[in-house]
């Protein structure tokens, strides 16, 4: 190791790609906030890595990326090898490079984080894959031997796409079903374009189709096609159904017309942005893809936010997506109210900082009590009470305890509730004998019975992973579970009738 490399973290400060100008972001521009590194910038930032003997960044990453290894390849200009190494552990690295909360994961665990500034791991990951794809690189499956096995993947979100990728690499034909008209699930419709440009999802679809993955979109299992039909046609089924059940805060006034659940707000807005993009593409000679699917999210109208006072309740990443979307939709002012202090917010600190930069106000230690309205049913505000932090709850987080006599009202015209979402077992799965925990999560692995493979349900041909098993979580954890479920499926198909409990897939 050269002297220049050894001290590069001192000589060269941490740097992120250039941000979109604030006047564009607050003026309604939905383009990705962060630009892309040029080759030299990426190499210099990658060269800041200390190449720790026991890399904490890898340990903290849910998919355990070989981060120091592909940083070194970038520094040496070996882009194709870096892209191949990225894909060894992560089927969707370009997505994770954009939407992972790196400040809580790999970068937060970086040895340089305390004092010198963590290596910009996410931005380099994004550079690797975007650049490799732009140069025509694609995963090489030329040595894969077809097994003749076929697997249905229900859900084209991150868990389903990750599973399909790994099945294809194992020589198993994967067919992905989704009720939406495009792939990606919340990657396409829920995560705003300023975090993930939708062309990135389109590129991944083309890559997967090049690997032999088939997509049947606009098909809802249990409505358009039965589970029995899938089980007759395929050797196994993976369920990547996500978590869409709205967490009801039980607030008086939450049924008012200007009170919106976060996810339908984001999905409808994402579809609106996508429709405009499709119209522009059509004007340029490109036909829009697919057809709209009627679903629960289509029954939530997005009011015109221009000039309105918007209050978002909840401090997670979904809440940050909501406040930053409201800014771009022209709200006069946007406030995020959270019942604990800033240190205990579940969302990414980077996203909070970006929201503040865009003009969002934060009120911490505020517990919502009710949503207030006038005689005509128009929202006028959110009544809250101040809180202090009490004893830890079952998960180790300190409870918010109301301070008597501290009630006040936050003025609002529109309220968005971002208390989270949870999975719910569909009737067609319950009828098939698939079991769920009391919180709605599907039982898999050892929880589903003795001798059951990881991510296998109590029904041997059915596997599940992602939010429907874990509960609402990060994109990268869904990717990890989809990837590892594919390993279990491949294992079962190689040895049908296996009864011994398998080791955890890697």
Structure tokens at 229: 């039909």
- 396 burial (CB, 10 Å; 0-12 / 13-18 / 19+) is exposed
Nearest to 369 by CA among 247, 246, 253: 253
Among the residues of 90-175, which ranges form H helices?
93-99, 121-134, 158-169
Q: What is the DSSP letter of 343?
A: G
Q: Which helix (H) or strand (E) holds 209?
A: helix 198-210
pLDDT at 505: 40
pLDDT at 289: 32
pLDDT at 396: 79
pLDDT at 299: 41
Residue pair 24/194 in contact (Cβ under 8 Å)? The answer is no
Structure tokens at 236: 């196994």
**Residue 423 dihedral angles phi and psi, to the nearest 5°:** -75, 160
Alpha carbon distances (Å) from 360 to 354, 384, 409: 9, 18, 18
Alpha-carbon distance of 429 to 431, in angstroms, equals: 5
pLDDT at 503: 39
Stated pTM of the model: 0.91
Q: In order of start, what are the domains of the chain with their CATH numbers?
A: 3-134 (1.10.1060.10), 150-244+423-494 (3.50.50.60), 245-417 (3.50.50.60)
Residue pair 63/109 in contact (Cβ under 8 Å)? The answer is no
Q: Helices 39-46 and 121-134 sit at what angle, rounded to 10 degrees?
A: 140
In a structure prediction context, what are the per-residue pLDDT tens digits for the chain, which is 506 residues long? 334 456 677 678 999 999 999 999 999 999 999 999 999 999 999 999 998 888 999 999 999 999 999 999 999 999 999 999 999 999 999 999 999 999 999 999 999 998 899 999 999 999 999 999 999 999 999 999 999 999 999 999 999 999 999 999 999 999 999 998 899 999 998 999 999 999 999 999 999 999 999 999 999 999 999 999 999 999 999 999 999 888 888 999 999 999 999 998 998 888 776 655 554 444 443 323 322 333 334 445 678 999 999 999 999 999 999 999 999 999 999 999 999 999 999 889 999 999 999 999 999 999 999 999 999 999 999 999 999 999 888 777 889 999 999 999 999 999 999 998 899 999 999 999 999 999 999 999 988 888 899 999 999 999 999 999 999 999 999 999 999 999 999 999 997 544 333 334 44
Alpha-carbon distance of 77 to 289, in angstroms, equals: 37
């Amino acid at each position: 190791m050269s002297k220049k490399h050894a001290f590069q973290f001192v000589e060269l400060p941490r740097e992120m790609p250039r941000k979109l100008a604030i006047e564009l972001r607050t003026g309604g521009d939905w383009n990705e906030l962060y630009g892309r590194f040029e080759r030299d910038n990426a190499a210099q930032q990658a060269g800041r890595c200390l190449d720790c003997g026991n890399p904490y960044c890898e340990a903290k990453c849910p998919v355990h990326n070989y981060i120091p290894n592909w940083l070194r390849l970038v520094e040496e200009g070996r882009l194709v090898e870096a892209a191949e190494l990225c894909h060894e552990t992560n089927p969707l690295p370009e997505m994770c490079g954009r939407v992972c909360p790196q400040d809580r994961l790999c970068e937060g665990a970086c040895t340089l984080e305390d004092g010198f500034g963590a290596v910009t791991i996410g931005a380099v990951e994004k550079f690797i894959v975007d650049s490799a794809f732009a140069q025509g690189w694609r995963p090489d499956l030329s040595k894969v031997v077809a097994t003749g096995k076929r697997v249905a993947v229900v859900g084209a979100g991150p868990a389903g796409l990750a599973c399909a990728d790994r099945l294809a690499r194992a020589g198993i034909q994967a067919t992905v079903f989704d009720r939406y008209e495009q792939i990606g699930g919340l990657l396409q419709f829920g995560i705003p374009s300023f975090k993930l440009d939708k062309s990135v999802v389109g590129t991944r679809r083309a890559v997967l189709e090049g690997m032999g993955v088939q997509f049947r979109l606009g098909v809802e299992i249990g409505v358009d096609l039965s589970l029995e039909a899938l089980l007759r046609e395929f050797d196994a089924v993976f369920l990547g159904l996500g978590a869409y059940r709205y967490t009801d805060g039980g607030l008086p006034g939450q049924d008012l017309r200007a009170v919106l659940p976060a996810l339908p707000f984001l999905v409808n807005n994402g579809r609106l942005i996508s429709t405009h993009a499709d119209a522009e593409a059509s004007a340029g000679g490109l036909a829009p893809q697919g057809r709209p699917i009627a679903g629960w999210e289509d029954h939530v109208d997005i009011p015109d936010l221009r000039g309105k006072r918007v209050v978002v309740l909840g401090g997670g990443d979904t809440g940050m997506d909501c406040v930053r979307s409201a800014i771009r939709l022209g709200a006069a002012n946007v406030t995020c109210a959270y019942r604990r202090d800033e240190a205990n917010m579940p969302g990414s600190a980077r996203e909070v900082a970006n929201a503040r930069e865009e003009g969002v106000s934060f009120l911490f230690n505020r517990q919502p009590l009710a949503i207030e309205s006038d005689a005509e049913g128009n929202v006028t505000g959110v009544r809250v009470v101040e809180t202090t932090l009490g004893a830890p709850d079952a998960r180790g987080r300190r409870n918010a305890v109301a301070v008597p006599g501290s009630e006040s009202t936050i003025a609002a015209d529109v309220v968005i509730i971002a208390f989270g979402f949870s999975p719910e077992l569909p009737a067609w799965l319950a009828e098939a004998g698939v079991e769920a925990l009391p919180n709605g999560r599907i039982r898999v692995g050892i929880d589903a019975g003795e001798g059951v493979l990881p991510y296998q349900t109590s029904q041997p041909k059915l596997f599940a992973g992602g939010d429907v098993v874990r509960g609402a979580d990060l994109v990268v954890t869904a990717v990890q579970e989809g990837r590892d479920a594919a390993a279990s499926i491949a294992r079962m198909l190689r040895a049908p009738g296996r009864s011994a409990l398998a080791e955890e897939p890697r």
